[in-house]
Amino acid sequence: MSNLGLVLGALAVVLISSLWRGLVYLIWRTYAIPKRFRKQGVGGPCGKFWSGSLEEIRSMKKAGRKLILDINSHDITPRVLPHYLKWMSQYGETFLYWFGPHPTICITDPELAKQVLSNKFGFFPKVMPIPNILALLGKGLSVTQGAEWVRHRHVVSPAFTMDKLKTMTKKMAECAQSMLERWQDLATQAEGQREMEVSSQLQELTSDVISHTAFGSSYVEGKEVFQAQKELQTLAAKSFLNVNIPGYQYLPSRRNLPRWKLERRVRNTLMHIIQGRLDSKDSSYGNDLLGLMMESCRSDLGQERKGQLLSMNEIMDECKTFFFVGQETTSHLLTWTVFLLCTNQQWQERLREEVLKECGTGIPNADMLSKLKLVTMVLLESLRLYGPVVMMQRMAAKDMTLGNLVIPKDTRLVIPIAIIHRNKEVWGADADEFNPLRFKNGISKAAKHPNALLAFSIGPRACIGQNFAMLEAKTVITMILQRFSLSLSPNYIHAPADMLFLQPQYGLPILLRPLNV
């Protein structure tokens, strides 16, 4: 017993010593890091110990969500990033604040953003998400770092070649046609014009597309994953601005138990889909995303490829990432594009003329879609004004020099995309206006900086699914314009909200009129 007492005593001393050193370090940082930045001319709001400026951010975002914008106003920043606007007016475009216990520097210069995002040496890695977001995304391609990221990308990237994507166009069109036939029936019953809330319909459509392209014949079970992830998204959005206590995610609390239940539901569904393919007597696991990943993990592959394989848990994580991010980003891109076409009738007519000229009234294929220059410009302008993600985070892996700034190790860097996309010095005096013609010569010449459009990020960690999203969006918009005239319902309330992804807080009710009526 005496030996056990000595061991426990020694462990207690080590634990208390470690906790004390950690506490001293945290307290020291709250003074040392602001002082270091002040010497470089960078100021910012004073935060509280551990919670930082989270209370102030919550308060300002709550007030921002009460703002109702004019339907012709595209400056969404007072609603979604009010704290950045306030602090930029007080401290300048580059400022320091504390997101909980984490020092965070705001970067609004497109050139500095490019240096951060284009770094190929891992000096500015992604920030590990909070537990609720990690449960939603899994430890897939969007989260992994270094050699792990290289291995994941090697396995996943074959699913996103243009040749592979072209073969998916038919399935995208079939899913869209099914939705549009329902719209046609409803509009006919209403004697020619029907009010319809389309944001939820477009979310269901993109979940259908992802279910078919990711899970093939198992798409019904894939939609079960979608339903569970929507509930996880709600939990994640509610907890994003909470103070995270280390180790709390392992406690059976009222906050954690629902998350664990949903995680099990997603895992069990994915495991059932995978097991079904493992038990199949087919020589191939399938030609969809899941099948391609499973093929890469076959036990009969040579030893030289063993180090490149993904485990079954990693495959499930990639399914979570692709399913959620692919579904959410494209559905909101479609939603905001429909909104912009409703409020810009001349552009709606111009796009319809182009669509009918290049695609006729039939089902479009990939070659037809590639000729739709005006549709592409409108989608890019929609991404600029209403991009699904309003900000990105990175972290300094070591003391780094960025422009004229020295960034201490472990400092987080926030790139507020929504603010950069409205910078008049970069995009011109009409930065707050809808003007797709700015993209007539391509993305790199649309603004004064060639990398000013950050909707899909840039550099090695740019979104691997951006071509998939654009192809799906082109397919759906084309088929809508072939069949319907769109206008905004008088019941629409213009209130863009950041709920992990940018979406209309009160939905998007529009008036649909079939063109053959």
Binding residues for heme: 463
User: How far apart are alpha carbons 276 and 292 in whole angstroms?
Assistant: 15
- Residue type for 335, please? T
Contact 60, 82 (CB under 8 A): yes
User: How far apart are alpha carbons 493 and 495 in whole angstroms?
Assistant: 6
Q: Helix 466-483 vs helix 345-359: angle between axes, to the nearest 10 degrees? A: 100
Per-residue exposure over 389-414, b if at least 16 CB sit within 10 Å of its own CB, e if not: bbbbebbbbeebebeebebbeebbbb
User: How far apart are alpha carbons 294 and 283 in whole angstroms?
Assistant: 12
Contact 34, 95 (CB under 8 A): no
Contact 31, 408 (CB under 8 A): no
Binding residues: 463
Residues 6+ apart with CB under 8 A from 172: 209, 213, 471, 472, 475, 476
Phi/psi of residue 510, nearest 5 degrees: -130, 170
> What phi-psi label fits residue 205: left (phi over 0), alpha (psi between -120 and 50 degrees) or beta?
alpha
> What tokens were used for 513?
């009129």
Location of structure tokens 């602001």? 34
User: How far apart are alpha carbons 61 and 68 in whole angstroms?
Assistant: 13
- Closest by CA to 487, choosing from 341, 375, 349, is 341
- Closest by CA to 331, choosing from 482, 229, 450, 185, is 229
Contact 77, 418 (CB under 8 A): yes
- Closest by CA to 113, choosing from 394, 397, 343, 507, is 394
Report the Cα–Cα distance between both ends of the chain, in Å, rounded.
Answer: 90
> What tokens were used for 235?
């939990």
Residues 6+ apart with CB under 8 A from 26: 49, 50, 101
Residues 6+ apart with CB under 8 A from 442: none
